[in-house]
């Protein structure tokens, strides 16, 4: 009851829709933000891959240009030893060394330890012979070779001024170039990794841990970079989405790939953004506080006021006096209802006084008529009957016998009718013998005249009530029997009278057709139940409680309960 009506309407029509809207806006914004960050990271990695690839190309071209300048000097008949002595500044670019080879592929001169070149020639004799044979006046990069001593990949760049000039060969590690280009592009602490793959599908350099059980040529990003494409793609790796930026190193045909989980890059910002739904917590708390305030200060007082108003409709004027609390508007409404209840109570008090006066006048008139009929009319008829009997004895037999008999029958019938009328106008048994005898006689006479068996029972020790109370109970029983005879189509009826120390209870029961009982006494008259309205008014007049229980096909039970007060006995 406390959560019905307006409370549920507020919850389902206001609070719940607002909560759903806030959730949709919050998580929708978070989804849009994540999508934007995902795209942003992809674009960033693509730019980083292109920038790093461009830097590597620049470093490769720088080394190619350096080798080309040395070859031109060798073509000018400058000795290789002199050229190497004046080219020490190139040593950082060619960390594996510089060497001069004859057009036939024999080592002429080398910087540093010549054992590196001898071992390299011995391990890669065929490859190097073919590579040197194909060298011309344009710098040419070799396939990936293994460093004979350090077991790491190296690459050669070679050129010559012409076919008769010495071939200048520079050896360097791809890792040294890649390290410079990639260190500024990515941060391994961000769970990112980068790697450079040669056309032979060999990893030349990597940052971060890269494990792949598949062919590197089929790996996402690698195959596109080896085809000379650049761009960004997304793949699912272990439940996380990785962004892969790739770009080709066009000078050597390598592929540079940068891969990282984009959530890790944006994690600090995303964590802050994901806390946005917590904004709903105070909103929901405020909504619940508002709902609690509405239920406590508006809805519950209104429901209490509704209950008291329902009690007021049944005549319980004290119920509306109890404060229901709530906001000022509800308290003003209750004060208005209290004022109206006082006015109704005053009007009903006046009406009851009026009805009591009318009832008392009616009873006085009935008492006068009964007394006159009993003391005069009936006595006259009795005297007439006696005189007829005496006259009949003095006449000859058969002379006027038939006429006199008829007169006698008429006078006797008149006497019976007048006695019945007298009892109807004023139940003499009630005044002389009490309520029990009067109700017993009422049941017997109604049974005889209306052909409906009416059983009367009483319980407890009878005691006399004030005359106006006894006559009211008698009239209520009389009205109840009249309704049973006229409307119920009952086959049997019962009158029960029960005396206790606390109350007197009068009950009328029938097994008739029954009816729908109006919800409040105010509906008795509009629905045509004037007899019930009279019963209700008589009950209120003597301070009794009237209860009517009935339903179609189930008969009717009417109970009048009169509390015993000091003034009632």
Residue that finishes a domain, picked among 255, 274, 293: 274
d(CA 285, CA 269): 26
Which helix or strand (DSSP H or E) is residue 243 part of?
strand 240-249
Q: Convert the pLDDT of each residue in 287-313 to its tens digit.
A: 667 767 766 777 778 778 778 788 777
Domain final residue pick, 426, 443, 472: 426
Q: Are strands 240-249 and 254-261 parallel, antiparallel or unpaired?
A: antiparallel
388-393-395-398 Cα dihedral, nearest 10 degrees: 90
Residue 46's region, left for phi above 0, alpha for psi from -120 to 50, else beta, is alpha
Looking at residue 46, what is its pLDDT? 87
* Whether 157 and 48 share a structural domain: yes
DSSP 8-state code for residue 517: P
Do 261 and 387 fall within a single domain? Answer: no
344 plus 415 within the same structural domain: yes
Question: Do 401 and 536 share a domain, yes or no?
Answer: no
The answer to whether residue 279 is domain-embedded is no
- Residues 526, 520: Cα–Cα separation, whole Å: 11
Q: What is the DSSP string of 89-102?
A: GGTTTSTTEEEEE-
pLDDT-based confidence at 1, cuts 50/70/90?
very low
Q: How confident is the model at residue 270 (pLDDT cuts 50, 70, 90)?
A: low
Which residue has 């891969």 as its token pair? 259
Tell me: pLDDT of 188 over 60. no
Distance CA 204, CA 202 (A): 6
Helices 328-372, 300-313: axis angle to 10 degrees equals 10
Distance CA 76, CA 305 (A): 115
User: What domain count does the chain have?
Assistant: 3
> What is the dihedral sign for C-alpha 149, 150, 151, 152?
negative
Residue 7 maps to a domain: no
Q: Tell me: the pLDDT tens digits for 455-489?
A: 999 999 999 899 889 899 998 998 899 889 988 88
Q: How far apart are CA 378 and CA 423, in angstroms?
A: 13
Burial 340-373 (b: 16+ CB within 10 A, else e): ebeeeeeeeeeeeeebeeebeeebeebeeebeeb
Give me the percent of the chain exceeding a pLDDT of 90. 16
Closest of 70, 130, 122, 66 to residue 100, by C-alpha: 70
Q: Are residues 358 and 436 in the same domain?
A: no
Q: Which of 79-88, 143-152, 271-280 has the lowest mean pLDDT?
A: 271-280
pLDDT at 41 over 90: no
CATH number at residue 498: 3.30.565.10
Give DSSP secondary structure letters for 423-454.
Answer: HHHS-HHHHHH-HHHHHHHHHHHHHHHH---E
Q: For all residues of the chain together, what is the average pLDDT?
A: 80
Q: What are the helix (H) ranges across 460-552?
A: 467-483, 530-541
DSSP string, 316-385: -TTGGGS----SHHHHHHHHHHHHHHHHHHHHHHHHHHHHHHHHHHHHHHHHHHHHHIIIIIHHHHHHHH
Which tokens in the block code for residue 185?
């592009």
Beta-strand pair 454-459/493-499? parallel
pLDDT of residue 276: 58
Question: Could you give the angle at the alpha carbon of 190 between the alpha carbons of 186 and 191, nearest 5°?
Answer: 100
- Residue 94 C-beta-side C-alpha neighbours within 13 Å: 27
Residue 510 CA to residue 492 CA, distance in Å, equals 6
The range of the structural domain enclosing residue 123 comes to 28-274
Three-state secondary structure call for residue 518: coil
Tell me the pLDDT tens digit for each residue of 222-260: 888 888 899 998 888 777 788 888 999 988 888 988 888
Instruction: Give the pLDDT of residue 354.
Output: 52
pLDDT at 455: 94
Mean pLDDT of 345-364: 67
284 within domain boundaries? no
Q: Distance between CA atoms of 412 and 183, rounded to whole angstroms?
A: 138
- In this structure, are 416 and 450 located in the same domain? no
What CA–CA distance (Å, rounded) separates 41 from 232? 10
Q: Are residues 419 and 444 in the same domain?
A: no
Task: Please report whether residue 543 resides in a domain.
Answer: yes
pLDDT digits (tens, 9 = 90+) for 490-541: 999 999 999 999 999 999 999 999 888 887 776 666 666 667 778 888 898 8
Of 549, 545, 550, give the one whose Cα is nearest residue 563. 545
């Amino acid at each position: 009851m406390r959560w019905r009506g307006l409370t549920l309407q507020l919850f389902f029509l206001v609070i719940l829709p607002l909560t759903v809207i806030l959730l949709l806006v919050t998580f929708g914004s978070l989804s849009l933000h994540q999508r934007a960050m995902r795209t942003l990271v992809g674009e960033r990695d693509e730019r980083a891959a292109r920038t790093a690839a461009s830097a590597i190309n620049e470093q490769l071209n720088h080394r190619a240009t350096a080798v080309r300048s040395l070859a031109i000097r060798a073509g000018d008949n400058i000795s290789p030893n002199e050229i190497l002595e004046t080219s020490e500044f190139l040593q950082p670019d060619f960390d594996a060394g510089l060497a001069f080879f004859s057009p036939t592929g024999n080592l002429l001169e080398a910087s540093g330890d010549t054992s590196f070149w001898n071992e390299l020639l011995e391990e890669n004799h065929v490859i190097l012979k073919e590579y040197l044979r194909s060298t011309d006046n344009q710098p040419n990069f070799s396939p990936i070779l293994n460093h004979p001593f350090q077991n790491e990949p190296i690459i050669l760049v070679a050129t010559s001024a012409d076919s008769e000039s010495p071939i200048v060969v520079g050896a360097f590690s791809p890792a040294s170039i890649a390290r410079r280009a990639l260190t500024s592009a990515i941060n391994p602490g961000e769970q990112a990794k980068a790697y450079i793959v040669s056309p032979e599908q060999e990893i030349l350099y990597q940052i971060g841990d890269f494990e792949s059980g598949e062919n590197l040529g089929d790996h996402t990003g690698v195959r596109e970079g080896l085809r000379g494409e650049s761009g960004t793609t997304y793949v699912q790796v272990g439940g996380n989405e990785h962004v892969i930026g790739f770009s080709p190193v066009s000078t050597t045909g390598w592929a540079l790939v940068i891969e990282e989980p984009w959530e890790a890059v944006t994690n600090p910002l995303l964590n802050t953004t994901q806390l946005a739904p917590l904004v709903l917590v105070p909103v929901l708390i405020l909504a619940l506080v508002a709902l609690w305030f509405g239920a406590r200060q508006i809805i519950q007082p209104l429901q209490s006021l509704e209950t008291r108003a329902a009690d007021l409709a049944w005549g319980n004027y004290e119920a509306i006096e109890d404060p229901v609390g709530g906001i000022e508007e509800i308290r003003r409404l209750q004060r208005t209802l209290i004022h109206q209840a006082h006015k109704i109570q005053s009007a009903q008090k006046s009406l009851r006084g009026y009805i009591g006066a009318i009832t008392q006048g009616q009873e006085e008139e009935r008492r006068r008529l009964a007394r006159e009929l009993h003391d005069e009319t009936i006595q006259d008829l009795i005297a007439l009957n006696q005189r007829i009997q005496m006259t009949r004895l003095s006449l000859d037999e058969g002379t006027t016998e038939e006429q006199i008999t008829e007169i006698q029958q008429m006078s006797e019938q008149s006497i019976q009718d007048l006695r019945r009328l007298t009892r109807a106008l004023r139940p003499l048994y009630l005044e002389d013998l009490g309520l029990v005898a009067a109700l017993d006689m009422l049941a017997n006479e109604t049974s005889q005249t209306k052909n409906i068996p009416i059983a009367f029972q009483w319980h407890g020790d009878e005691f006399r009530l004030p005359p106006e109370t006894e006559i009211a109970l008698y009239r209520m029983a009389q009205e109840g029997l009249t309704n049973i005879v006229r409307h119920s189509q009952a086959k049997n009826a019962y009158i029960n009278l029960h005396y206790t120390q606390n109350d007197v209870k009068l009950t009328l029961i029938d097994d008739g057709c029954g009816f729908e009982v109006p919800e409040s006494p105010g509906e008795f008259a509009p629905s045509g139940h004037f007899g019930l309205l009279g019963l209700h008014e008589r009950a209120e007049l003597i301070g009794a409680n009237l209860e009517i229980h009935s339903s179609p096909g189930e008969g009717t039970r009417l109970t009048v309960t009169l509390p015993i007060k000091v003034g009632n006995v």
